[in-house]
Amino acid sequence: MTKEAIQSRVDLGELLPLMEEFYTIQGEGYHKGTAAYFIRVGGCDVGCHWCDVKESWDAAIHPPTEAVTIADNAAKYSDTIVVTGGEPLMWDMKPLTTLLKERGLQVHIETSGAYDLSGDWDWICLSPKKRMLPKDEVSQKAHELKVIVYNKSDFAFAEEQAAKVSENCILYLQPEWSVRDKMVPLIVDYVMANPKWKISLQTHKYLNIP
Ligand SMILES: C[S@@+](CC[C@H](N)C(=O)[O-])C[C@H]1O[C@@H](n2cnc3c(N)ncnc32)[C@H](O)[C@@H]1O
Ligand SMILES: Nc1nc2[nH]cc(C(=O)O)c2c(=O)[nH]1
Ligand code: SF4
Ligand SMILES: [Mg+2]
Protein backbone atom coordinates (compact mmCIF):
# COMPACT_ATOMS: atom_id res chain seq x y z
CA MET A 1 0.00 0.00 0.00
CA THR A 2 1.18 3.55 -0.69
CA LYS A 3 1.50 6.04 2.19
CA GLU A 4 -1.60 7.80 0.88
CA ALA A 5 -3.60 4.55 0.72
CA ILE A 6 -2.63 3.71 4.31
CA GLN A 7 -3.56 7.21 5.47
CA SER A 8 -6.98 7.04 3.80
CA ARG A 9 -7.70 3.68 5.45
CA VAL A 10 -6.56 5.10 8.83
CA ASP A 11 -8.94 8.04 8.25
CA LEU A 12 -11.76 5.51 7.74
CA GLY A 13 -10.87 3.60 10.91
CA GLU A 14 -10.14 0.43 8.90
CA LEU A 15 -6.53 0.63 10.09
CA LEU A 16 -5.66 1.86 13.58
CA PRO A 17 -2.24 2.79 15.05
CA LEU A 18 -1.97 -0.07 17.52
CA MET A 19 0.39 0.51 20.46
CA GLU A 20 -0.22 -2.65 22.47
CA GLU A 21 -2.82 -5.24 23.41
CA PHE A 22 -2.94 -7.22 26.63
CA TYR A 23 -5.23 -9.48 28.61
CA THR A 24 -5.48 -8.33 32.22
CA ILE A 25 -7.87 -7.30 34.97
CA GLN A 26 -9.68 -3.97 34.56
CA GLY A 27 -8.02 -2.03 37.36
CA GLU A 28 -10.17 1.08 37.55
CA GLY A 29 -13.74 2.29 37.94
CA TYR A 30 -17.01 0.39 37.78
CA HIS A 31 -15.63 -2.81 36.17
CA LYS A 32 -12.59 -3.01 38.43
CA GLY A 33 -11.69 -6.62 39.11
CA THR A 34 -13.11 -7.99 35.86
CA ALA A 35 -10.91 -9.80 33.32
CA ALA A 36 -10.72 -7.84 30.07
CA TYR A 37 -8.65 -7.64 26.91
CA PHE A 38 -7.17 -4.16 26.41
CA ILE A 39 -6.56 -2.63 23.00
CA ARG A 40 -4.37 0.48 23.28
CA VAL A 41 -4.61 2.72 20.22
CA GLY A 42 -1.84 5.29 19.73
CA GLY A 43 -2.30 9.03 19.28
CA CYS A 44 -3.26 11.71 21.82
CA ASP A 45 -2.82 15.49 21.84
CA VAL A 46 -4.60 16.26 25.12
CA GLY A 47 -1.26 16.59 26.90
CA CYS A 48 -1.93 15.66 30.55
CA HIS A 49 1.43 16.32 32.29
CA TRP A 50 0.90 13.31 34.59
CA CYS A 51 -0.22 10.88 31.86
CA ASP A 52 1.01 7.37 32.67
CA VAL A 53 1.27 6.33 29.01
CA LYS A 54 3.03 9.19 27.21
CA GLU A 55 4.57 6.64 24.79
CA SER A 56 1.09 6.46 23.26
CA TRP A 57 0.95 10.12 22.21
CA ASP A 58 2.74 9.99 18.85
CA ALA A 59 0.50 7.98 16.52
CA ALA A 60 3.24 7.83 13.88
CA ILE A 61 5.37 5.40 15.92
CA HIS A 62 2.55 2.85 16.22
CA PRO A 63 1.93 0.53 13.24
CA PRO A 64 -1.31 0.96 11.28
CA THR A 65 -3.07 -2.33 11.99
CA GLU A 66 -6.15 -3.86 10.38
CA ALA A 67 -9.22 -3.43 12.61
CA VAL A 68 -10.34 -6.92 11.56
CA THR A 69 -7.02 -8.41 12.75
CA ILE A 70 -7.39 -6.59 16.09
CA ALA A 71 -10.96 -7.87 16.49
CA ASP A 72 -10.17 -11.47 15.52
CA ASN A 73 -7.30 -11.55 17.98
CA ALA A 74 -9.23 -9.91 20.84
CA ALA A 75 -12.06 -12.46 20.49
CA LYS A 76 -9.60 -15.24 21.38
CA TYR A 77 -8.98 -13.79 24.83
CA SER A 78 -12.08 -12.36 26.47
CA ASP A 79 -15.76 -11.51 26.22
CA THR A 80 -14.96 -8.02 27.49
CA ILE A 81 -12.82 -5.67 25.45
CA VAL A 82 -11.53 -2.29 26.66
CA VAL A 83 -10.45 0.13 23.96
CA THR A 84 -8.07 2.74 25.37
CA GLY A 85 -5.10 4.80 24.29
CA GLY A 86 -3.86 7.36 23.65
CA GLU A 87 -7.19 8.91 22.85
CA PRO A 88 -9.26 6.34 20.93
CA LEU A 89 -11.85 8.91 19.81
CA MET A 90 -9.20 10.61 17.65
CA TRP A 91 -10.02 7.79 15.25
CA ASP A 92 -13.26 6.53 13.70
CA MET A 93 -14.18 3.72 16.08
CA LYS A 94 -17.14 2.50 14.01
CA PRO A 95 -15.28 -0.24 12.06
CA LEU A 96 -13.49 -1.71 15.10
CA THR A 97 -16.53 -1.66 17.40
CA THR A 98 -18.76 -3.14 14.69
CA LEU A 99 -16.29 -6.00 14.22
CA LEU A 100 -16.07 -6.57 17.99
CA LYS A 101 -19.88 -6.56 18.38
CA GLU A 102 -20.22 -9.00 15.44
CA ARG A 103 -18.04 -11.35 17.49
CA GLY A 104 -20.45 -11.08 20.43
CA LEU A 105 -18.14 -9.09 22.67
CA GLN A 106 -18.87 -6.45 25.31
CA VAL A 107 -17.08 -3.33 24.14
CA HIS A 108 -15.91 -0.65 26.59
CA ILE A 109 -14.02 2.59 25.99
CA GLU A 110 -11.71 4.69 28.16
CA THR A 111 -11.83 8.25 26.81
CA SER A 112 -11.19 11.88 27.64
CA GLY A 113 -14.20 12.68 25.45
CA ALA A 114 -12.22 15.44 23.74
CA TYR A 115 -13.22 14.24 20.25
CA ASP A 116 -16.58 13.43 18.67
CA LEU A 117 -18.11 10.14 19.73
CA SER A 118 -17.79 7.35 17.17
CA GLY A 119 -18.40 3.61 17.55
CA ASP A 120 -20.98 1.43 19.34
CA TRP A 121 -20.18 1.04 23.03
CA ASP A 122 -21.64 -1.06 25.81
CA TRP A 123 -19.80 1.05 28.37
CA ILE A 124 -18.29 4.52 28.17
CA CYS A 125 -15.83 5.59 30.85
CA LEU A 126 -15.32 9.35 30.53
CA SER A 127 -12.22 10.80 32.21
CA PRO A 128 -12.47 14.50 31.36
CA LYS A 129 -9.45 16.77 31.13
CA LYS A 130 -9.25 20.53 31.78
CA ARG A 131 -6.93 21.11 28.81
CA MET A 132 -9.48 19.77 26.30
CA LEU A 133 -13.00 19.54 27.65
CA PRO A 134 -15.29 16.66 26.67
CA LYS A 135 -17.82 16.94 23.88
CA ASP A 136 -21.41 17.22 25.18
CA GLU A 137 -22.47 13.97 23.50
CA VAL A 138 -19.79 12.00 25.35
CA SER A 139 -20.77 13.55 28.69
CA GLN A 140 -24.43 12.77 28.06
CA LYS A 141 -23.77 9.15 27.04
CA ALA A 142 -21.09 8.28 29.64
CA HIS A 143 -21.88 5.38 31.98
CA GLU A 144 -19.16 6.40 34.40
CA LEU A 145 -17.33 9.66 35.03
CA LYS A 146 -13.81 9.17 36.38
CA VAL A 147 -12.10 12.41 37.36
CA ILE A 148 -8.38 12.30 38.16
CA VAL A 149 -7.50 14.25 41.30
CA TYR A 150 -4.02 15.75 41.11
CA ASN A 151 -4.65 18.78 43.31
CA LYS A 152 -7.45 20.40 45.32
CA SER A 153 -8.80 22.35 42.35
CA ASP A 154 -9.80 19.05 40.77
CA PHE A 155 -12.73 18.68 43.18
CA ALA A 156 -14.37 21.79 41.72
CA PHE A 157 -13.61 20.53 38.19
CA ALA A 158 -15.18 17.18 39.11
CA GLU A 159 -18.41 18.89 40.18
CA GLU A 160 -18.50 20.92 36.93
CA GLN A 161 -18.15 17.73 34.91
CA ALA A 162 -20.72 15.86 37.04
CA ALA A 163 -23.26 18.57 36.17
CA LYS A 164 -22.96 17.57 32.50
CA VAL A 165 -23.47 13.79 32.73
CA SER A 166 -26.75 11.85 32.93
CA GLU A 167 -28.33 11.16 36.30
CA ASN A 168 -27.51 7.44 36.03
CA CYS A 169 -23.81 8.08 35.43
CA ILE A 170 -21.64 6.66 38.21
CA LEU A 171 -19.22 9.21 39.67
CA TYR A 172 -15.62 8.37 40.57
CA LEU A 173 -12.67 10.32 41.92
CA GLN A 174 -9.34 8.64 41.16
CA PRO A 175 -6.05 9.87 42.67
CA GLU A 176 -3.28 10.74 40.24
CA TRP A 177 -0.78 7.97 40.90
CA SER A 178 2.31 10.03 41.76
CA VAL A 179 0.47 12.08 44.42
CA ARG A 180 -1.74 9.29 45.75
CA ASP A 181 -0.35 9.41 49.31
CA LYS A 182 -1.19 13.10 49.56
CA MET A 183 -4.53 13.07 47.71
CA VAL A 184 -6.15 9.84 48.98
CA PRO A 185 -6.94 11.32 52.44
CA LEU A 186 -8.50 14.38 50.79
CA ILE A 187 -10.55 12.19 48.44
CA VAL A 188 -11.72 10.02 51.34
CA ASP A 189 -12.93 13.09 53.24
CA TYR A 190 -14.55 14.47 50.09
CA VAL A 191 -16.45 11.25 49.36
CA MET A 192 -17.69 11.00 52.95
CA ALA A 193 -18.94 14.59 52.74
CA ASN A 194 -20.29 14.13 49.19
CA PRO A 195 -21.45 10.52 48.96
CA LYS A 196 -22.70 10.73 45.39
CA TRP A 197 -18.99 10.17 44.57
CA LYS A 198 -17.06 6.89 44.93
CA ILE A 199 -13.30 6.42 45.04
CA SER A 200 -11.51 4.58 42.23
CA LEU A 201 -7.93 3.38 42.63
CA GLN A 202 -5.58 2.10 39.94
CA THR A 203 -5.68 -1.36 41.49
CA HIS A 204 -3.59 -2.93 38.70
CA LYS A 205 -0.63 -0.85 39.88
CA TYR A 206 -0.98 -2.27 43.41
CA LEU A 207 -1.27 -5.77 41.93
CA ASN A 208 1.76 -5.24 39.64
CA ILE A 209 -0.14 -6.32 36.55
CA PRO A 210 -0.45 -4.43 33.22
C1 LIG B 1 -4.10 6.62 29.71
S2 LIG B 1 -5.77 7.13 29.63
C3 LIG B 1 -6.24 6.64 27.96
C4 LIG B 1 -7.67 6.94 27.62
C5 LIG B 1 -8.02 8.42 27.44
N6 LIG B 1 -7.00 9.17 26.78
C7 LIG B 1 -8.36 9.05 28.78
O8 LIG B 1 -7.56 9.86 29.28
O9 LIG B 1 -9.40 8.69 29.33
C10 LIG B 1 -6.62 5.85 30.62
C11 LIG B 1 -7.06 6.27 32.00
O12 LIG B 1 -5.91 6.46 32.82
C13 LIG B 1 -6.09 7.64 33.58
N14 LIG B 1 -4.75 8.08 33.98
C15 LIG B 1 -3.73 8.39 33.16
N16 LIG B 1 -2.63 8.72 33.86
C17 LIG B 1 -2.96 8.60 35.18
C18 LIG B 1 -2.24 8.80 36.39
N19 LIG B 1 -0.98 9.22 36.40
N20 LIG B 1 -2.89 8.58 37.55
C21 LIG B 1 -4.19 8.18 37.55
N22 LIG B 1 -4.92 7.96 36.45
C23 LIG B 1 -4.32 8.18 35.26
C24 LIG B 1 -6.83 8.56 32.61
O25 LIG B 1 -7.45 9.65 33.22
C26 LIG B 1 -7.83 7.59 32.03
O27 LIG B 1 -8.94 7.46 32.89
N1 LIG C 1 -5.32 -3.11 34.34
C2 LIG C 1 -5.54 -1.94 33.75
N3 LIG C 1 -6.73 -1.33 33.92
C4 LIG C 1 -6.93 -0.17 33.26
N5 LIG C 1 -8.06 0.58 33.23
C6 LIG C 1 -7.87 1.62 32.39
C7 LIG C 1 -6.58 1.54 31.87
C8 LIG C 1 -6.11 2.42 30.78
O9 LIG C 1 -4.91 2.66 30.64
O10 LIG C 1 -6.97 2.87 30.03
C11 LIG C 1 -5.96 0.42 32.43
C12 LIG C 1 -4.70 -0.20 32.32
O13 LIG C 1 -3.74 0.29 31.69
N14 LIG C 1 -4.55 -1.39 32.98
S1 SF4 D 1 -6.03 12.24 27.54
FE2 SF4 D 1 -5.49 10.19 28.29
S3 SF4 D 1 -3.83 9.42 26.95
FE4 SF4 D 1 -4.10 11.60 26.54
S5 SF4 D 1 -2.54 12.59 27.82
FE6 SF4 D 1 -4.44 12.56 29.04
S7 SF4 D 1 -4.40 10.64 30.21
FE8 SF4 D 1 -2.82 10.47 28.60
MG1 LIG E 1 -3.53 2.62 32.25
Q: What percent of the chain has pLDDT over 90?
A: 100
Pocket test for ligand 2, best of 19, 53, 177, 202 (most atoms within 8 A of CB): 202
Beta-strand pair 64-66/15-25? antiparallel
Q: 127 a known binding residue? A: yes
pLDDT at 195: 98
63 φ, ψ (degrees, to nearest 5): -70, 130
Residue 189 confidence (pLDDT): 99
Give the strand pairing for 170-175 and 64-66: unpaired
- DSSP designation for 93: -
Q: What is the pTM of this model?
A: 0.99
pLDDT at residue number 39: 99
Q: What is the 171 CA–ligand 4 centroid distance (Å)?
A: 19
* Cα 26 to middle of ligand 4, angstroms: 9
State the pLDDT at residue 126. 99
Torsion of CA 106, 15, 29, 158, to 10 degrees: -130
Q: What is the ipTM of this complex?
A: 0.99
Pocket of ligand 3 (CB under 6 A): 44, 46-48, 51, 53, 56, 85-87, 112, 129
How many whole angstroms from 52 Cα to the centroid of ligand 1? 7
Residue 161 annotated as part of some ligand binding site: no
In three-state secondary structure terms, 51 is: coil
Which segments of the chain have a pLDDT < 70?
Answer: none
Name the residue among 194, 185, 138, 186 with its Cα closest to residue 161. Answer: 138
Q: Please, what are the domains in the chain?
A: 3-207 (3.20.20.70)
Atom 8 of ligand 1, nearest CA residue: 112
Please give the pLDDT value at position 33.
98
Cα separation, 77 vs 148, whole angstroms: 29
Average pLDDT, the chain: 98
Q: CA-based angle 158:162:167, to the nearest 5?
A: 155
